[in-house]
Structure 1
């Protein structure tokens, strides 16, 4: 049994001779040799790593290999600095020392007449304290994520389970952190390696996925464009379920582009509506690299191409000039309505606090409770006069645009009970559970 009094400095591992490397010990491969030495390192309380190699000059095959303690060699006292602002002094700090020149090692040489490897050198002693059994699982060579754990971690990530919670689940499953086999940092490094694998090919991966969906069902529709440098700039897609939903519930469409989904800052543009149960439904989606009129025109034309029923009777969007222009070009017969909720929220920004406190309610009542356009204009004029806001630039602009957002001007148009783009924002909340700026 290991001798351990609770103090790491006084910990002395007791490793049997059968567990120690012995000169002349034979292994079938280098992997077997390192596996044995690494297991010995775990029992002893240190981490092992591969070191020097010698190759045959004739065949270029490895004929000698050394495995060492992770504290072999020395770490230079390297200092680095970061310039925060111009003409400000640099802040310096030194790296912590991780190597102590430990001489513990094992060397193996290749057999001359066979495929095996034989231990030629073994140095047991260390010049540093060894880890206790409760901490040895944290050392680098004794950590590793199995293929099954990697797959499970990916499934957790797809379900939007944070890395810290993933680690807690692995600890519960394994019966404690010492039995997991890795630490949270290893999961984060694995997640980063997965993201690195997709760098430069993520657009191709997306197109390949669309192609595979098209092969599964011919009613899946997609299209995309690249710029002169062959960079992915925009795409549009919808499946057969969403296209069928549009034929039944496509009278009113909500379109909002305020959610960025990935690390490239591309704009996520969902088209949503509401069904006969007043549930939000998704008609189609787009990704855009910018919010220019040309991009919106392209996206709306793809919408028409995919939806056999044609343009909606009513579309609700935010107050975007480029989008307004695109809708007038592509959907000339569609009633375009600005999101009432966004506009009402702007009053607190556009009015000074005292005016907002004293007069916002009368303005809001004029907007929401007017039954006809004449009643609204009369109530608005009275509210502006009482608040002395007749010359307010933003309010004057909004009055000129009243036919785009005031409810009284839409009484004759079926709107499925919607007056804002909050339906789209609720879908953003849904997507946010599964995607982030790291995608």
Structure 2
């Protein structure tokens, strides 16, 4: 446990000569400003895990809403935040053993604030120091909670991948010319997906002589790389022929993308396919393209 000094926030400023206590926690379980969550309960669970590792309890404090009723911000604090009002019974609110436990509030400033911004839930404030000693780390409970949140994240990813698949399946049914296909891993998680609407498929029939494949774009929530196959129109503007997601950037995944791309484009191969030198791509290209010549792009740093 680390003893910090000159580190207490008060009305946005630091108050010197006051002591704070803080315990180092593994980085993947430590909150940080800018961290994103999919929903409130996921963020609350995450902060509770961090609190167990540090040795304090969490209390939900204030929730602010926009005029339409949607949540604007939510504050989570140490259960020793604030001070007891005269005549008020101090309780932690924990009922693990069937009864409420008394706790002495000492004005602790440890907290996180969750803020909804442009549809994204993020931590926009985080204060880690406590003005009271922390209890010893409850390792067993922490490991149990850590396991629970890992499973919770997997459930969220599976839930969102199902919504993604259902949405694109609906588009394929209701929009003429919309192509969609996907594949899953052995555990049922989404591993590959590709889509192209009627407009880009028509564009390919006109401008599909040379195609560039770029697997460089990646996401940070689901560990899936976004890839695209693009070309150039007669105005020298880039045109996208399809988009794809892959969980594994290997030859098998690229082979699947190329195969389904040709299926979407009626089996018509381009004259040239231009790619970077990712190790899996040269293996996949000749397995799918029999006419197209493979060329590497020029990488400029």
Under a length normalisation based on structure 1, what TM-score does the superposition of the two structures give?
A: 0.38
Is 1:328–2:286 an aligned residue pair?
Answer: yes
Which residue of the partner structure matches residue 83 of structure 2? 100
CA distance in structure 2 between the aligned counterparts of 1:310 and 1:97, rounded to whole angstroms: 67
The alignment partner of 1:320 has SS state of: coil
In the TM superposition, residue 308 of structure 1 has moved relative to its aligned partner by 1.7
State the Cα deviation string for residues 372-425 of structure 1 (Å, max 9, x = none): xxxxxxxxxxxxxxxxxxxxxxxxxxxxxxxxxxxxxxxxxxxxxxxxxxxxxx
Displacement after TM superposition at 1:153 (Å): 3.9
Q: CA deviation at 1:259?
A: 1.3
Deviation of residue 101 (structure 1)? 2.1
* 1:81 aligns with one of 5, 12, 23: 23
State the number of aligned residues. 190
* Superposition deviation, residue 233 in structure 1: 0.8
Deviation at 1:254, TM superposition (A): 0.6
Counterpart Cα distance in 1 of 2:299 and 2:84: 67
Which structure has the larger Rg over C-alpha atoms? 1
CA distance in 2, matches of 1:263, 1:323: 24
Cα 1:257/1:231, change in 2 over 3 Å:
same
1:314-336 per-residue CA deviation (whole Å, 9 max, x = no partner) reads: 11100123211211111021111
Equivalent residues of 2:208, 2:270 under 8 A apart: yes
Which residue of the partner structure matches residue 214 of structure 1?
172
More strand by share: 2
Pair 252,144 (structure 1): closer, same or farther in 2 beyond 3 Å: closer
Is 1:308 aligned with 2:266? yes
Q: Secondary structure at the match of 2:215?
A: coil
Look up the SS of the partner of 2:249 in the other structure. Answer: coil
Per-residue deviation, 1:97: 5.0
CA RMSD of aligned residues (A): 4.0
| 8 Å Cα contact 1:293-1:322 kept in structure 2 | yes
Q: Summarize deviations over 1:164-191 as a string: whole Å, max 9, x none.
A: 9xxxxxxxxxxxxxxxxxxx66xxxxxx
**Structure 2 matches for 1:194-213, cutoff 5 A?**
198-213=156-171
Aligned to 1:236: 194
The answer to whether the 8 A contact 2:250-2:279 is kept is no
Render the CA deviation track for 1:116-156: whole Å, top value 9, x for unaligned.
xxxxxxxxxxxx9xxxxxxxxxxxxxx999xxxx7x943xx
Alignment partners' CA distance in 2, 1:309 and 1:294: 19
Corresponding residue for 1:339?
297
Residue in structure 2 matched with residue 288 of structure 1 by the alignment? 246
- 1:342-366 Cα offsets, whole Å, 9 max, x none, are 5xx5xxxxxxxxxxxxxxxxxxxxx
Q: Which has the higher helix share?
A: 1
Shift of 1:210: 0.2
Determine if contact 1:220/1:238 at 8 Å carries over to the other structure. Answer: yes
Indicate the residue corresponding to 1:273 in structure 2: 231
Q: 1:226 aligns with which of 159, 179, 184?
A: 184
Structure 2 residue runs of 5 or longer lacking an equivalent are 1-18, 27-53, 57-77, 89-105, 107-112, 126-151
1:227 is displaced (CA, Å) by 1.6
Q: CA 1:270 to 1:322, structure 2 compared with 1: closer, same or farther past 3 Å?
A: same
Cα 1:199/1:329, change in 2 over 3 Å: closer
CA distance in 2, matches of 1:287, 1:233: 8
